[in-house]
Structure 1
Amino acid sequence: MARVPTSKDVVRIAGVSQSTVSYVMSGKRPISERTRRLVEDAMAQLTYQPHAGARALASQRTHVVAAVVPFRSPLSAHGLMAFVEEIALAARAHDHDLLIVTADEGPGALQRVAGGALCDAVVVMEVRAQDERAAVARAMARPTLFIGVPDDAADLHCIDFDFETAARLLVAELAGAGAREVAVLGWSPEVEERGINYVPRFRAAAAAAAAEHGVALRWCAVPAGQEAAERCLADLLAGPGAPPGLLTTTGTQEVVNALVRRGLVPGRDVDLVALATDAEAEAQSVPLTAVSTQPRDVSRQAMEWLFALLEDPSAPGEVRRVPAQLTRRRSVRSAG
């Protein structure tokens, strides 16, 4: 069996002291670029990997970031994977591993990872408007960052997409095209019942924008699936007169399919805007005017901030929002 290389082998090949090798690995003291390169080249030659436990003891860090991401169903897991992928890539770029805590334990999940010293920092997702984890986060010694904004965000580090501006942009687009009523095909009753933070934020901003533009607003919480989208649209389009402007926040493909089955083409027979990623909006038979929620940008900015907090854990709480931008495509008719 081949012998596993040790730090003593690194010392021998690099021609430096044991303490110098330790300082290069821990980063606790400045080392010249030439010496650092000698040590790193020796490690690469030996395919040497520092023992994770020893490295943690030396640096008082685990080099692990935890993401608390409750997966309640295959559908919710799918919607969160873009966030998780970017978090994992960012962690790896900073020489950290990612621990994913998927159980829906509420405050217990945070207390478990913090109390067990399992990680250096925590990302919290699936944030609720009334989130019991906020109080736990305030008491934690480790940097904790929420992707989402609970109602009580005092002293917390929170980042999220600007759902409020997104709602205003989408309602304004339909009003500008001449809609007298905006019908929102919103998140499912399950999401609303869980109290996910962005739903009331988006809904309040949409109502305010509708009032500002003098249009009526109707909200339909649409269960997942094609049949639910069909039923909702049948109800919305049943009345006489011009159809309302349609705004979908989820299940975009199902909504477009339901319109096509009724012989309605977005941008010709009905105005349709979406809160959807650019890829999803552009994949439709008629590319949709949309505001992208930018999950990857949100995750990248969240991780940049989290690693900054590791260097300055005393930084005050703050709420940051990733700006919303409307991209016009072909699914809205001209007001003229």
Structure 2
Amino acid sequence: MPTSKDVALAAGVAQSTVSYVLSGKRPISEKTRKKVEAAIEQLTYHPNAGARALASRRTHVIGLVIPFIPELHMASLMEFVSSIASTARKHDHDILLVTEDEGANGLRRVVGQQICDGLILMQVAGEDERLPIARSLKVPVVLIGIPRDPSDLVCIDADFELAGQLAVNDLAAAGHSTIGVIAWQPEVVERQVNYVERFVRGTNQAAKELGVKLLHVVGGTDLGTISKSVDEVLAQTKGQPAFIAPEGIVQEILLRTLSARGLTPGTNVSVIGSASPGMAELYPVPLSTIDLRPREVSRRAVEIICGLLESGSEGPHESLELVPATITHRSSVIRPDQAKAS
């Protein structure tokens, strides 16, 4: 296996120069840097992570704190994990998955034992027990999600308020004056995750501006609950009904419920759901969806924490970034010309 000494000999430079090119700690001329990089590629040299950590006092590992809880839609969660891991590798970092079994103590452990250089926290609750610890750590911490009090914290998330506005706007433009919003599962709502409140606020704001009647009904993962919610919306709707289902697992049950009542998305009912592009296209009627851009949120979370690590400044830091949501139009919303034809 080649060493940094072999790279130095191949490039015709000192071994310390190879180290400086890899670490970026000292300015190196472009000509010398290219010689070293060419030698690295030729020899397929990979720096020893342990030696590099000792030299730089950094592990080049980012801890990703994930709550593996039953109500989470795991396919959606793994989309975040996959994107975070691939982006981290582009920035020469690895990801360490940290489950929430230890709670706040887990944060202290991985940082105190110098297992990782910084942390990304997912599924942040409104009042989250991890936040006092996150504020006190001397390493960068980035939250995917926004707590009630984001002071002294670095937060990034999809713009759920904009997502709610766009969904209502889209259905109103299609001619619907009454819209049913199927809520997240009660377990998610009870965790007081901030994105639920922001989404509801966005739908309410758009409905008020457009004069649309919104019916916020109960969500869940059982057919009986969704059936009652659908019937409640149908009973109060004149003309063709419309539904927004911002949670993937709830949306799947909604579509089955509508089918059992002879309602077909895009024909005699409009539905805007939440699914990855691949999944949305697999439905019998391709589903119009709220695109919360999880890959972009994940990419930015890694870029932010790597930027903080490179700056070398100790916490706490404070910033809040929202990634704009979009609506991806497919076939599940009745358009005005379709309504006239029917």
Mapped to 2, the partners of 1:256 and 1:49 lie a distance apart of 50
Mapped to 1, the partners of 2:136 and 2:72 lie a distance apart of 33
Mapped to 2, the partners of 1:281 and 1:39 lie a distance apart of 47
Tell me, yes or no, if the aligned pair for 2:65 and 2:122 is still in contact at 8 Å. yes
2:188 matches 1:160: no
Tell me, yes or no, if the aligned pair for 2:71 and 2:188 is still in contact at 8 Å. no
Question: Residue 257 and residue 5 in structure 1: after superposition, are their counterparts in 2 closer, same or farther (change >3 A)?
Answer: same
What's the CA shift for 1:91? Answer: 0.7
Tell me, yes or no, if the aligned pair for 1:277 and 1:293 is still in contact at 8 Å. no
2:324 matches 1:327: no
Match of 1:97 among 74, 84, 94: 94
SS of residue paired to 1:249: coil
TM-score, structure 1 normalization? 0.88
2:281 matches 1:282: yes
Letter aligned with residue 324 of structure 1: A
What's the CA shift for 1:227? Answer: 5.6
Match of 1:221 among 215, 218, 221: 218
Name the residue aligned to 1:202: 199
2:24 matches 1:22: no
Letter aligned with residue 30 of structure 1: P
Equivalence map 1:137-176=2 (5 Å): 137-176=134-173
What's the CA shift for 1:146? Answer: 0.8
Mapped to 2, the partners of 1:182 and 1:284 lie a distance apart of 22
Tell me, yes or no, if the aligned pair for 2:180 and 2:243 is still in contact at 8 Å. yes
Name the residue aligned to 1:61: 58
Which has the larger displacement, 67-76 or 120-129? 67-76
SS of residue paired to 1:132: coil
Letter aligned with residue 280 of structure 2: A
Q: Extract unaligned runs of 5+ from structure 2.
A: none
Letter aligned with residue 256 of structure 2: N
Name the residue aligned to 2:309: 310
Percent of residue pairs bearing the same amino acid type: 46
Mapped to 2, the partners of 1:45 and 1:289 lie a distance apart of 49
Tell me, yes or no, if the aligned pair for 2:292 and 2:326 is still in contact at 8 Å. no
What's the CA shift for 1:248? Answer: 0.8
Tell me, yes or no, if the aligned pair for 2:292 and 2:324 is still in contact at 8 Å. no
Tell me, yes or no, if the aligned pair for 2:275 and 2:289 is still in contact at 8 Å. yes
What's the CA shift for 1:244? Answer: 4.0
Name the residue aligned to 1:183: 180
Mapped to 2, the partners of 1:126 and 1:88 lie a distance apart of 17
Tell me, yes or no, if the aligned pair for 1:253 and 1:284 is still in contact at 8 Å. no
Mapped to 1, the partners of 2:230 and 2:157 lie a distance apart of 30
Name the residue aligned to 1:261: 260
Q: Render the CA deviation track for 1:29-76: whole Å, top value 9, x for unaligned.
A: 222344334444444555443332221121121111111111113853
Q: Render the CA deviation track for 1:284-329: whole Å, top value 9, x for unaligned.
A: 2223333211111111122222222222354951111111223333
Letter aligned with residue 234 of structure 2: L
Which has the larger displacement, 262-271 or 156-165? 262-271
Question: Residue 76 and residue 106 in structure 1: after superposition, are their counterparts in 2 closer, same or farther (change >3 A)?
Answer: farther
Question: Residue 6 and residue 165 in structure 1: after superposition, are their counterparts in 2 closer, same or farther (change >3 A)?
Answer: closer
SS of residue paired to 2:73: helix
Mapped to 1, the partners of 2:237 and 2:66 lie a distance apart of 45
2:107 matches 1:110: yes
Tell me, yes or no, if the aligned pair for 1:289 and 1:332 is still in contact at 8 Å. no
Name the residue aligned to 1:291: 290
Q: Render the CA deviation track for 1:2-43: whole Å, top value 9, x for unaligned.
A: xx5444444444443232233233322222344334444444
What's the CA shift for 1:269? Answer: 1.4
Letter aligned with residue 334 of structure 2: V
Tell me, yes or no, if the aligned pair for 1:5 and 1:48 is still in contact at 8 Å. yes
TM-score, structure 2 normalization? 0.86
Tell me, yes or no, if the aligned pair for 1:144 and 1:157 is still in contact at 8 Å. yes
Mapped to 1, the partners of 2:24 and 2:286 lie a distance apart of 50
Question: Residue 170 and residue 46 in structure 1: after superposition, are their counterparts in 2 closer, same or farther (change >3 A)?
Answer: closer
Name the residue aligned to 1:134: 131
What's the CA shift for 1:140? Answer: 1.9
Question: Residue 268 and residue 283 in structure 1: after superposition, are their counterparts in 2 closer, same or farther (change >3 A)?
Answer: same
Mapped to 2, the partners of 1:301 and 1:51 lie a distance apart of 27
Q: CA RMSD in A?
A: 2.6
Equivalence map 1:35-54=2 (5 Å): 35-54=32-51
Letter aligned with residue 94 of structure 2: D
Equivalence map 1:62-77=2 (5 Å): 62-73=59-70, 75-77=72-74
Q: Render the CA deviation track for 1:157-216: whole Å, top value 9, x for unaligned.
A: 111111001111212223344434321112111111122221111122222332333333
